[in-house]
């Protein structure tokens, strides 16, 4: 579960509190803390919100890649 370390690092690197990120995800601070400590699995929808918020791709936030690529933007056809 590499995402546990990543979501905490991203939060701390951007100077956000757990309470602020929890509000973004519409969960309580305790629930968010449980995500960071690996006590509760973070829902996929919340992972996507965090990836967009921090502007990193899902491969980075999930720990698959060590490169912080930007979150893919929708292309208009």
User: Domains in the chain, please, with CATH?
Assistant: 2-62 (1.10.260.40)
pLDDT in tens, 21-73: 999 999 999 999 999 999 999 999 999 999 999 999 998 998 888 778 777 77
d(CA 27, CA 42): 11
Query: Contact 26/5 with Cβ under 8 angstroms?
Result: no
Q: Residue 71 has what pLDDT?
A: 79
Distances (CA, A) of 6 to 2, 25, 35, 57: 7, 16, 11, 12
d(CA 35, CA 76): 34
Q: Residue 77 has what pLDDT?
A: 58
Residue 24, judged by CB atoms within 10 A of its CB (0-12, 13-18, 19+), counts as middle
Tell me the whole-structure pTM to 2 decimals: 0.85
């Amino acid at each position: 579960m590499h995402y546990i370390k990543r979501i905490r690092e991203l939060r701390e690197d951007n100077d956000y509190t757990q309470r602020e990120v929890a509000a973004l995800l519409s969960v309580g601070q305790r629930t968010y803390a449980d995500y960071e400590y690996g006590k509760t699995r973070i829902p996929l929808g919340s992972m996507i919100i965090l990836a967009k918020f921090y502007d990193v791709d899902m491969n980075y936030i999930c720990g698959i890649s060590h490169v912080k690529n930007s979150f893919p933007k929708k292309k208009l056809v």
